[in-house]
Amino acid sequence: MPSTRKANLVLAAAIIFLLLTTGAAYFALARLQTSAVWVRHTLDVQHSLDHFSTIFGKAGRLRAQYVDSGDPELLSRQADAVVAVRNALREIQQLTVDNSNQQAMWQKLAAVTDSRIVLMDQAMQLKRSGKSSLELQAPMNREMMAAADDTETLVRSMEDEEVRLLGERQRRERTAFSMIGGVLITSLFLALVFFLIHHRMIMEQVEQRTRAENVQRSLSARLLTLQDEERRKFARELHDSVGQHLAAIKMAVSMLERKLPEDPIVKDCLKLADDAITETRTISHLLHPPLLDEAGLNSAMRWFVDGFASRSGIQVNIHIQDGIPRFEQTTELALFRALQEGLTNVHRHSGTKHADVSLTSSGEQVVLTVRDHGRGIPAATLQPLREDGTAGGVGLTGMRERLREIGGKLEINSSGFGTEVIVQVPVQPATAAAKVLSSPAPEVNG
């Protein structure tokens, strides 16, 4: 199975376990919320039962005070207390409507409550009739005391039942929460493990791709080096072999011309020989200018710019900073090839008749700038060109590889007013000859 597919499967597994973790966390929170609801419900029931007992006790005390004092104001207060008792009783019924056991005890509590209220009404009615006495009130007091005991017993039973239900519900919630917590922790752990595995696989792929890119770049650099060597070889062969043969032909034709001075064919042959020698010399120097090895980058740049201007009809202004020393051979060759590629692109794409070339050095780096005043590069092409050179041709790719090999960088700026190519290379002066190249280049026919 391809490594990319394995990595995708591992990532899919990690996402699945992460979704399980999210689901488990959601159910855990839901369980906690349900448990909190049941706790609040139990507290509400207990509060209602306590309120019921308190209000009922108040109603009983008001009844006793009225029987003792006969104060009519106590009658209305006692009636209000009875209404509050009945309201509290209805509230208990509503809170326990989902529990059949609690409803059964509530029925008993309601019956006892009605009985107590009837007894209290009878005691107060006896007081209002003026026939109240200790002997007549005593049996009713005993019945009310017994009913009060029954009420207290039922209230406590209902509270105990609610506490028991709460404990049972909390045990179930704890069990469920433990299971959900186990699923949550396990899923999260497995998700993290799979994410780590996926990260390791991705890093391995990145390392493999980096190694492949490094190998590719090394190969590209090697190919460029071989290309330069071949160019130097071909240039030498053209100059030393073909050039010598053409020179010999010219000498022979010149001798023939002295014998036949008026023959037009001989004159044409002599001119063709001159043109062939000039073209051969130009091609040889373009393949690898001997000035680059002999006189350095300064002279080679001036020679190439002059020849380019004459061949293309583009006026090129060149500025080379005074006092620039010789650099390493690879640095000078990379800068010269960058100049060639930059001016070639100006001729092919800019549509301008003017260009500027400058070479400056700060001691730690040398900067070559090629600027034209043409139509510029479209934005859709400029962005990928800046990022990785995918929109550029083979020449631009070769330029980037040369610069990358020696630690340099390429910057391209463009607008509707023209394009600027900036090459920056960290340099050290050549160890063999740190001589200043400020003299103009010798004239070379190109």
Structure confidence by residue, pLDDT tens digits, 254-308: 888 787 777 888 778 888 888 888 777 777 766 767 767 777 888 888 888 888 8
The predicted structure's pLDDT at residue 285: 66
Task: Give the N- to C-terminal CA distance of the chain in Å, as an integer.
Answer: 60
Low-confidence ranges of the chain (pLDDT < 70): 1, 217, 221, 224, 232, 235, 239-240, 285-286, 288, 291, 384-395, 428-446
Q: What is the pLDDT of residue 445?
A: 37
- The token duo for 344 is 């070639």
> CA 445 to CA 311: how far, in whole Å?
11
Two domains, one topology: 3-201 and 296-446: no
Q: Which residues touch 438 (CB under 8 Å, ≥6 apart)? A: 298, 322, 323
Q: What is the rounded distance in angstroms from the CA atom of residue 159 to the CA atom of residue 388?
A: 78
DSSP annotation string for 229-265: HHHHHHHHHIIIIIHHHHHHHHHHHHHHHHHSTT-HH
Q: Strand pairing of 354-361 and 365-372?
A: antiparallel
Cβ atoms of residues 348 and 394 within 8 Å: no
pLDDT tens for 162-180 read 888 888 877 877 787 788 7
Q: Is it true that domain 3-201 has CATH number 1.20.120?
A: yes
165-175 burial string, b = 16+ CB within 10 Å, else e? bbeebeeebee
Domain 296-446 architecture: 2-Layer Sandwich (3.30)
- What per-residue confidence (pLDDT) applies to 435? 43
Q: What is the pLDDT of residue 110?
A: 92
Question: What pTM does this model have?
Answer: 0.50
For residue 438, what pLDDT is reported? 37
127-131 CB contacts, 8 Å cutoff, 24+ apart: 127/66, 127/67, 127/70
Going from N- to C-terminal start, the domains of the chain cover: 3-201, 296-446
Selection from 328, 402, 414 nearest residue 370 by Cα:
414
With beta carbons less than 8 A apart as the criterion, state whether 427 and 289 touch. no
Query: What's the pLDDT at 357?
Result: 93
Q: Which uninterrupted H or E stretch holds 422?
A: strand 418-426
- pLDDT at res. 104: 92
